[in-house]
Protein backbone atom coordinates (compact mmCIF):
# COMPACT_ATOMS: atom_id res chain seq x y z
CA UNK A 1 0.00 0.00 0.00
CA UNK A 2 1.35 3.40 -0.93
CA UNK A 3 0.08 6.49 0.84
CA UNK A 4 -0.54 9.56 -1.30
CA UNK A 5 1.92 11.77 0.57
CA UNK A 6 4.18 11.18 3.51
CA UNK A 7 5.15 13.89 5.90
CA UNK A 8 7.14 11.50 8.12
CA UNK A 9 9.68 8.98 6.85
CA UNK A 10 9.95 5.69 8.72
CA UNK A 11 13.59 6.14 9.71
CA UNK A 12 12.73 9.49 11.31
CA UNK A 13 9.89 8.22 13.55
CA UNK A 14 10.89 9.02 17.14
CA UNK A 15 7.90 10.64 18.85
CA UNK A 16 4.28 9.65 19.43
CA UNK A 17 3.16 12.33 17.00
CA UNK A 18 5.48 11.00 14.26
CA UNK A 19 4.41 7.40 14.95
CA UNK A 20 0.72 8.22 14.70
CA UNK A 21 1.18 10.42 11.63
CA UNK A 22 3.23 7.76 9.85
CA UNK A 23 0.72 4.99 10.54
CA UNK A 24 -2.24 7.17 9.53
CA UNK A 25 -0.53 8.08 6.27
CA UNK A 26 0.38 4.46 5.54
CA UNK A 27 -3.17 3.27 6.22
CA UNK A 28 -4.36 5.28 3.23
CA UNK A 29 -7.84 4.14 2.35
CA UNK A 30 -7.43 0.50 3.30
CA UNK A 31 -10.45 -1.74 3.00
CA UNK A 32 -8.96 -4.54 5.11
CA UNK A 33 -11.26 -5.73 7.91
CA UNK A 34 -9.89 -5.19 11.40
CA UNK A 35 -9.84 -8.88 12.29
CA UNK A 36 -7.69 -9.59 9.22
CA UNK A 37 -5.42 -6.66 10.08
CA UNK A 38 -4.99 -7.99 13.64
CA UNK A 39 -4.27 -11.53 12.42
CA UNK A 40 -1.54 -10.13 10.15
CA UNK A 41 -0.20 -8.00 13.01
CA UNK A 42 -0.15 -11.05 15.30
CA UNK A 43 1.88 -13.02 12.76
CA UNK A 44 4.31 -10.13 12.19
CA UNK A 45 4.69 -9.52 15.93
CA UNK A 46 5.36 -13.20 16.58
CA UNK A 47 8.07 -13.16 13.90
CA UNK A 48 9.72 -10.17 15.62
CA UNK A 49 9.52 -11.87 18.98
CA UNK A 50 11.01 -15.12 17.64
CA UNK A 51 13.85 -12.99 16.26
CA UNK A 52 14.65 -12.08 19.86
CA UNK A 53 12.96 -8.69 20.10
CA UNK A 54 12.04 -8.04 23.76
CA UNK A 55 11.05 -4.50 22.80
CA UNK A 56 10.51 -2.36 19.71
CA UNK A 57 11.93 1.00 18.75
CA UNK A 58 9.50 3.67 17.55
CA UNK A 59 10.43 3.08 13.86
CA UNK A 60 10.04 -0.69 14.32
CA UNK A 61 6.60 -0.23 15.89
CA UNK A 62 5.55 2.11 13.08
CA UNK A 63 6.83 -0.37 10.50
CA UNK A 64 4.99 -3.26 12.15
CA UNK A 65 1.70 -1.35 12.36
CA UNK A 66 1.99 -0.22 8.73
CA UNK A 67 3.07 -3.64 7.39
CA UNK A 68 -0.06 -5.28 8.81
CA UNK A 69 -2.19 -3.34 6.30
CA UNK A 70 -0.83 -5.53 3.48
CA UNK A 71 0.87 -8.55 5.05
CA UNK A 72 -0.67 -12.00 4.63
CA UNK A 73 -2.94 -12.90 7.53
CA UNK A 74 -3.22 -16.43 8.86
CA UNK A 75 -6.75 -17.84 8.64
CA UNK A 76 -8.98 -17.62 11.69
CA UNK A 77 -8.63 -20.71 13.87
CA UNK A 78 -11.66 -21.61 16.03
CA UNK A 79 -9.19 -23.44 18.32
CA UNK A 80 -8.07 -20.04 19.59
CA UNK A 81 -11.28 -19.90 21.64
CA UNK A 82 -9.92 -22.63 23.93
CA UNK A 83 -6.86 -20.46 24.65
CA UNK A 84 -9.04 -17.64 25.99
CA UNK A 85 -9.96 -19.67 29.05
CA UNK A 86 -6.53 -21.17 29.69
CA UNK A 87 -4.78 -20.25 32.88
CA UNK A 88 -1.53 -18.51 32.11
CA UNK A 89 1.46 -17.94 34.32
CA UNK A 90 0.79 -15.65 37.28
CA UNK A 91 3.47 -13.32 35.91
CA UNK A 92 3.30 -13.58 32.12
CA UNK A 93 6.09 -12.09 30.10
CA UNK A 94 5.48 -8.93 28.14
CA UNK A 95 5.05 -10.72 24.80
CA UNK A 96 2.53 -13.20 26.27
CA UNK A 97 0.43 -10.24 27.40
CA UNK A 98 0.59 -8.70 23.92
CA UNK A 99 -0.23 -11.98 22.22
CA UNK A 100 -3.23 -12.64 24.49
CA UNK A 101 -4.50 -9.10 23.84
CA UNK A 102 -4.35 -9.49 20.06
CA UNK A 103 -5.85 -13.00 20.15
CA UNK A 104 -8.71 -11.86 22.39
CA UNK A 105 -9.40 -8.92 20.09
CA UNK A 106 -9.59 -11.26 17.10
CA UNK A 107 -11.96 -13.52 19.03
CA UNK A 108 -14.11 -10.56 20.09
CA UNK A 109 -14.45 -9.42 16.48
CA UNK A 110 -15.46 -12.93 15.40
CA UNK A 111 -18.03 -13.07 18.20
CA UNK A 112 -19.47 -9.69 17.19
CA UNK A 113 -20.10 -10.99 13.68
CA UNK A 114 -21.42 -14.38 14.83
CA UNK A 115 -23.83 -12.73 17.29
CA UNK A 116 -25.13 -10.28 14.68
CA UNK A 117 -23.71 -7.17 16.35
CA UNK A 118 -21.42 -6.44 13.38
CA UNK A 119 -21.64 -7.23 9.70
CA UNK A 120 -19.36 -9.78 8.06
CA UNK A 121 -16.99 -7.11 6.68
CA UNK A 122 -16.47 -5.84 10.21
CA UNK A 123 -16.80 -2.29 8.95
CA UNK A 124 -19.88 -1.22 10.92
CA UNK A 125 -22.26 -2.34 13.63
CA UNK A 126 -25.61 -3.82 12.72
CA UNK A 127 -27.06 -2.09 15.79
CA UNK A 128 -27.65 1.56 16.57
CA UNK A 129 -24.95 2.18 19.18
CA UNK A 130 -21.58 3.92 19.48
CA UNK A 131 -20.03 0.96 21.30
CA UNK A 132 -21.07 -2.64 21.84
CA UNK A 133 -19.90 -5.34 24.23
CA UNK A 134 -18.65 -8.49 22.54
CA UNK A 135 -19.91 -11.75 24.06
CA UNK A 136 -16.31 -12.42 25.23
CA UNK A 137 -16.31 -9.22 27.24
CA UNK A 138 -14.46 -6.61 25.17
CA UNK A 139 -16.13 -3.27 24.52
CA UNK A 140 -15.84 -2.13 20.89
CA UNK A 141 -16.44 1.16 19.14
CA UNK A 142 -13.97 0.90 16.26
CA UNK A 143 -14.07 -1.84 13.65
CA UNK A 144 -11.92 -0.35 10.89
CA UNK A 145 -8.11 -0.48 11.18
CA UNK A 146 -7.67 3.25 10.54
CA UNK A 147 -10.24 4.19 13.23
CA UNK A 148 -8.82 1.58 15.60
CA UNK A 149 -5.26 2.93 15.28
CA UNK A 150 -6.39 6.54 15.42
CA UNK A 151 -8.24 5.83 18.69
CA UNK A 152 -5.22 3.93 20.05
CA UNK A 153 -2.98 6.91 19.31
CA UNK A 154 -5.38 9.45 20.77
CA UNK A 155 -6.13 7.41 23.91
CA UNK A 156 -2.50 6.46 24.49
CA UNK A 157 -0.83 9.77 23.71
CA UNK A 158 -3.65 12.32 23.36
CA UNK A 159 -2.43 15.61 24.71
CA UNK A 160 0.63 13.85 26.08
CA UNK A 161 -0.58 13.37 29.62
CA UNK A 162 -2.08 9.87 29.36
CA UNK A 163 1.07 7.94 28.51
CA UNK A 164 3.31 9.98 30.77
CA UNK A 165 5.28 11.61 27.97
CA UNK A 166 4.47 14.59 25.77
CA UNK A 167 3.61 13.71 22.16
CA UNK A 168 6.79 15.40 20.94
CA UNK A 169 9.16 13.59 23.32
CA UNK A 170 11.05 10.54 22.04
CA UNK A 171 9.13 7.32 22.70
CA UNK A 172 12.20 5.29 23.61
CA UNK A 173 11.90 1.52 23.69
CA UNK A 174 8.41 0.06 23.57
CA UNK A 175 7.96 -3.21 25.42
CA UNK A 176 5.33 -5.69 24.28
CA UNK A 177 3.00 -5.02 27.21
CA UNK A 178 3.03 -1.29 26.41
CA UNK A 179 2.18 -2.23 22.81
CA UNK A 180 -0.68 -4.43 24.16
CA UNK A 181 -2.04 -1.46 26.11
CA UNK A 182 -1.87 0.67 22.96
CA UNK A 183 -3.91 -1.92 21.02
CA UNK A 184 -6.47 -2.31 23.83
CA UNK A 185 -7.12 1.42 23.75
CA UNK A 186 -7.93 1.21 20.04
CA UNK A 187 -11.17 -0.62 20.73
CA UNK A 188 -12.94 2.34 22.33
CA UNK A 189 -14.27 5.45 20.68
CA UNK A 190 -13.10 8.72 22.10
Q: What is the pLDDT of residue 123?
A: 57
Task: State how far the alpha carbon of 149 is from the alpha carbons of 71, 83, 144, in Å.
Answer: 17, 25, 9
Closest C-alpha to 17, from 185, 166, 182 = 166
Q: One digit per residue, pLDDT tens: the chain, 190 residues?
A: 444 455 678 888 998 889 988 888 888 777 889 999 999 999 999 999 988 888 999 999 999 999 999 999 999 999 998 887 665 555 568 898 899 999 999 999 999 888 888 876 665 565 556 778 888 888 888 888 988 998 898 888 775 444 445 567 788 899 999 999 999 999 988 7
What sign does the dihedral 62-149-76-52 (CA atoms) show? Answer: positive
Q: What is the pLDDT of residue 125?
A: 60
Task: State how far the alpha carbon of 102 is from the alpha carbons of 46, 131, 132, 164, in Å.
Answer: 11, 19, 18, 24
Strand partners, 125: 118
Q: How far is CA 2 from the centre of its chain?
A: 20
Inter-axis angle of helices 34-50 and 94-114, to 10 degrees? 160
Q: What is the pLDDT of residue 113?
A: 87
Amino acid sequence: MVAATRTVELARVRTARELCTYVAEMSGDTERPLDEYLRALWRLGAERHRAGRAYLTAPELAELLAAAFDAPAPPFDPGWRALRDQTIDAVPDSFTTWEATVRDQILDLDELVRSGLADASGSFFAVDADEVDAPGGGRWGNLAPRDFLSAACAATFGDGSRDGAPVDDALGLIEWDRFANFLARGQRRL
